[in-house]
Chains A and B, each alone.
Chain A
Amino acid sequence: MDDPRALLQVRDLTAQFNRDGVPSRVVNGISFDIAPGEAVGFVGESGCGKSVTARAIMRLAPEGSSVAWGGRILFRGRDLLRIEEREMRDMRGRRIAMVFQDPMTSLNPVMTVGAQIDDMLCRHAGLSRRAARRRTVELLGLVGIRDPALRADDHPHQFSGGMRQRVLIAIAVSCQPDLLIADEPTTALDVTVQAQILRLLMRLGRELGMALMLITHDFGVIAGMVERVYVMHGGDIVESGEVDALFAGPQHPYTRALLAAVPRIETAGRTT
């Protein structure tokens, strides 16, 4: 069962919340693998457990709740649910990084974006302030921000939504993680900006040899980005497979219903 080539092996993962003393299970013992450099998609609707699964890998409890995790999350053979918090802190950011949906709330509004990336580099990569700034400017350039040396001194509110998401991606890839988890990274963005961010994620995955776990409710976003897909519903993986096969012949009724609900731009609209 254990593929030595896997970067991430999740086995029988469970997540249980405590709501007013009543335990409720949101992830029901799921198992999946991600190979080094592989792009994998997780699709499902809100409440299906996809974001909780992503947060389990980062060992982050969803905001304002306590959660009990079970099973194993093997990352390069280390079980992330059992290692010391100190080792986990080192994993976060350095080996595994995450980009969230909302680029407005994920940045500190009173710090310049450059200072936020510098901090990350000093803390995780042990760079000096000066070396960190050099790398920060490089990173901002890498994610497609024009005049990166100047823009590093701007505050988040001086950036558009798409540019802020680029900044967050720069922070996420700053320590060259092995795995980037992107949870609905383009949901809050305009369609043209979405296309740019998806291209950026693809390019970075290739250039940095980074594995990508892309979480979304949108089958259109998944289609061109990943090699394999897991479909989640009610805390279970109900279907998984290679992306072309899954789109061509979805097996599970839930997958079929989700695919059928995707609005298609090429379908003729109203006639009346």
Chain B
Amino acid sequence: MSAPGPLLRVRDLCVTFPARRGRPPVRAVDHVSFDIEPGQTLGLVGESGSGKTTTGRAILQLQPASGGSVRLLGQELTAMRRADLRAMRRHMQFVLQNPYSSLHPRMTVAQILAEPLTVHRSVPRERIPERVAELMTLVGMDPKVVHRYPHEFSGGQRQRVVIARALAVNPDFVVCDEPVSALDVRTQAQIVDLLHSLQEKLRLSYLFIAHDLAIVRAVAHRVAVMYGGRLVELGDAARVYDSPAHPYTRNLLDAVPIPDPARQRAKLAEAAPEPQFRGRDGETGPCVFGEDHAASGTPAWHEVAPGHGVSCRFWPPGACPGQELPRI
């Protein structure tokens, strides 16, 4: 099942939550666009409330989009009939943050892994035990322990089971939403290694959602930075990390603690006021790049290098492209 173009193509994706208790509707995802190529990882970073999880859910059609397009393997998902969508679900899977709550406590690992195989009828019934054992081996676990319950495993092992369940139906694309943030550092490193090797072996594509920028650096080919429901920067990981263009990206990178006492002390001592990122209203007239998008009808997006784009929204007053901001 190959299709021309990227594996996943997201264009102008919008999600609006309806008005509640007298509060206006909230646009949680606002014209988000990106591609993910086969076998590649896009890291999606941002703070809580920035819309990253909602973006992941909207791509998987677990959350209705209010506008825009999501094409997986060349097929448009947003307008798809339910039965067709169910068939497409075998190509796209989800790994969630908390390995404690995402596994049914009363089901053995064997039952947990057999469930998607039965639902999607991906292997004949009599081959299920064999496939379950295969999946356990794939995620580096001993197939002999499949009759145990989730509570008998450590957090890292449970996350391996969650990954095995996602891989049961041979997906092409996996949304990993904070897959390691509930784990210890050494376990994080092991799960990241596992995700790497699975990607190479199975040519998986990942959307890797995380608030930990250091982890994202280790896993992502490309990185998208989200703020207030919008992408504010998108580019190759090395470019975004080494020459961030948006002040918000710089702010995020500056806040990451460095495991070096002298430098981290100096960082904590420099307490400049936090930059205020401008809201989305009142964006008329020329933007920070000197373009009037309202007049020209162009999107508020600027290429600073091939494949490296930045939004002209949410720039603090006085900030200009290419200029250093005071550190937070």
A positions within 8 Å CB-CB of B: 45-46, 160-161, 190-196, 198-199, 202, 217-221, 223-225, 243-244, 247, 257-259, 261-270, 272
Contact B257 A224, beta carbon cutoff 8 Å = yes
Contact A192 B252, beta carbon cutoff 8 Å = yes
Contact B238 A268, beta carbon cutoff 8 Å = yes
Q: Binding site of B, secondary structure by majority: helix, strand, loop or mixed?
A: helix
Question: Separation in Å of the A66 CB from the closest CB of chain B?
Answer: 20
Contact of A267 among B217, B256, B266 (CB under 8 A): B217
- Total interface residues on B, CB under 8 Å, equals 45
Tell me the nearest residue of chain B to A223, going by C-beta: B264
Q: A191-B252, A198-B268, A225-B268 are in contact. Are A259 and B237 (CB under 8 A)?
A: no
The answer to whether the Cβ of B4 comes within 8 Å of any Cβ in the partner chain is no
Contact B261 A223, beta carbon cutoff 8 Å = yes
Q: A198-B268, A202-B268, A224-B264 are in contact. Are A191 and B211 (CB under 8 A)?
A: yes
Tell me the nearest residue of chain B to A191, going by C-beta: B255
Which of these binds chain A: B16-24, B30-38, B72-80, B218-226? Answer: B218-226
B positions within 8 Å CB-CB of A: 41, 47-49, 155, 184-189, 211-215, 217-221, 237-238, 241, 251-268, 271, 274, 328
Q: How far is the CA of A259 from the CA of B41 in the complex (A)?
A: 26
Total residue contacts A-B, CB cutoff 8 A: 122
Contact A262 B259, beta carbon cutoff 8 Å = yes
Contact A247 B186, beta carbon cutoff 8 Å = no
Contact B328 A195, beta carbon cutoff 8 Å = yes
Contact B188 A263, beta carbon cutoff 8 Å = yes
6 contacts between A and B (CB under 8 A): A191-B47, A218-B185, A244-B261, A247-B259, A265-B256, A272-B221
Q: How far is the CA of A42 from the CA of B134 in the complex (A)?
A: 41
Contact B259 A46, beta carbon cutoff 8 Å = no
Question: Separation in Å of the B204 CB from the closest CB of chain A?
Answer: 14
Q: How far is the CA of A194 from the CA of B238 in the complex (A)?
A: 24
Question: Separation in Å of the A92 CB from the closest CB of chain B?
Answer: 29
Contact B219 A194, beta carbon cutoff 8 Å = no
Question: Separation in Å of the A45 CB from the closest CB of chain B?
Answer: 4
Contact A265 B268, beta carbon cutoff 8 Å = no
Contact B184 A264, beta carbon cutoff 8 Å = no
Q: How far is the CA of A53 from the CA of B253 in the complex (A)?
A: 33
Tell me the nearest residue of chain A to B248, going by C-beta: A192
